[in-house]
């Protein structure tokens, strides 16, 4: 039903939406962990998880930005 150019545009928009959704999931997880760190037992594990999430957030932000550039 859609013209070929519309299909490509729709496919690109879906890809952008997916990348930003994954970025949002990472940011939300990081925020949730920070907000609840006091109720968790092991500070070393929390810091390790936050470091991992920070690296993942940066990678996902770059990946999402590349689609817009």
What CA–CA distance (Å, rounded) separates 18 from 27? 14
pLDDT, position 61: 95
Which range of residues forms the domain containing residue 48? 19-68
Q: Is residue 56 situated within a structural domain?
A: yes
Q: What is the pLDDT along the chain (69 residues), one digit of tens a residue?
A: 567 778 888 999 999 999 999 999 999 999 999 999 888 878 889 999 999 999 999 999 999 999 887
pLDDT, position 8: 85
Q: Is residue 26 situated within a structural domain?
A: yes
Please name the residues in contact with 33: beta carbons below 8 A apart, sequence gap of 6 or more: 40, 46, 49, 50, 53
pTM of structure: 0.80
What CA–CA distance (Å, rounded) separates 6 from 4? 5
Q: Indicate the number of domains in the chain.
A: 1
**Dihedral, 18, 25, 54, 17 alpha carbons, nearest 10:** 20
Q: Is residue 64 situated within a structural domain?
A: yes
Q: Is residue 32 situated within a structural domain?
A: yes
Q: Is residue 9 situated within a structural domain?
A: no
Helix axis angle for 4-35 and 43-68, nearest 10°, is 160
């Amino acid at each position: 039903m859609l013209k070929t150019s519309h299909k490509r545009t729709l496919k690109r928009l879906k890809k952008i939406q997916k990348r930003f959704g994954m970025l949002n999931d990472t940011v939300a997880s990081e925020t949730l962990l920070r907000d609840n760190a006091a109720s968790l037992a092991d500070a070393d594990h929390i810091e390790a998880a936050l470091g991992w999430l920070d690296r993942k957030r940066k990678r996902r932000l770059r990946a999402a930005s590349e689609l817009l550039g």
